[in-house]
Amino acid sequence: MKERIIVGNMKLGMLKEDALNYVKKFKGEYRNVVLCPSSIYLNYFSDMKVKLGLQNVFYDGTLCTGEISSSQAVSMGIKYVIIGHSERREYLEENNDIINKKVKDAVKHNLGILLCVGETEEEKEDGRADGAIKRQVYTALKGIDNIRNVVIAYEPVWAIGTNKIPTVEEIKEKVSLIKRVTKELLDYDGIRVLYGGSVNEENVEQLNQIEEISGFLIGGACTNPKKFEKIIKIINKR
């Protein structure tokens, strides 16, 4: 059975002391974990036995104060980047075209891309979820030769940080939609899809039984090293 990918999105969840403590308390060695701390703390995390990623990346060739480019990421040995997280779509109005440029540039630099897609609560209630997801996947990935570098995280926006999760059936449906879109519209068979949104120690066992997913993107629950390691061990037990 293929090892699952586990991504920890630490967001803004830590101050300097918390980051230093985290590194002390997180003991294990996990080849399949990509931890994405705030970039200002990356150095503290560099000796950990996990992979490191960025929570965002910008495209090269445009000066944009405050951002980090794909080539800078590569020059620091970073191998993975999250692109298109719903919080960036919402608060920074990051749209599918910007996301497409970021993905293109990151692919060019051979970075592993964790592309986030997912419907809002409103889209779900109005029956527009599938259309929104289809558009996000297609627009983000159009014109990209090397889709092999991309893993999609299906993260329903209404499930992020809310303790609500979709049913197993709903997750399977959306994963199959994403696979269909990449196959039929982008001519790429075999896209890997993660699930993200309120994954925690209580629900991970059940979610981990879904064969169609290739892993998880975990936010809140990854900022506590003990809890996160417990979750990783549950996932890796299968």
Q: Which residues participate in catalysis according to the annotation?
A: 85, 155
53 or 197, CB closer to ligand PGA?
197
Tokens of 40: 């200002």
d(CA 105, CA 229): 33
Say whether residue 123 binds ligand PGA (CB under 6 A): no
Tokens of 146: 């090397």
Span of 88-96, 135-143, 182-190, 212-220 interacting with ligand PGA by CB under 6 A: 212-220
Binding mask 137-176 for ligand PGA (x = CB under 6 A): ------------------x----xx---------------
Alpha carbons within 13 A on the beta-carbon side of 80: 24
d(CA 132, CA 118): 7
The footprint of ligand PGA on this chain (CB under 6 A) covers a number of residues equal to 13
Residue nearest to ligand PGA according to CB distances in the complex: 219
58 or 154, CB closer to ligand PGA?
154
d(CA 207, CA 166): 10
Rounded to a whole number of angstroms, the CA Rg of the chain reads: 17
Determine the residue type at 54. Answer: L
140 or 199, CB closer to ligand PGA?
199
Say whether residue 73 binds ligand PGA (CB under 6 A): no
Say whether residue 119 binds ligand PGA (CB under 6 A): no
Determine the residue type at 27. Answer: K
Do residues 131 and 96 lie in contact, with contact meaning Cβ atoms separated by under 8 Å? Answer: no
Contact residues toward ligand PGA (CB under 6 A) are 9, 155, 160-161, 196-199, 217-221
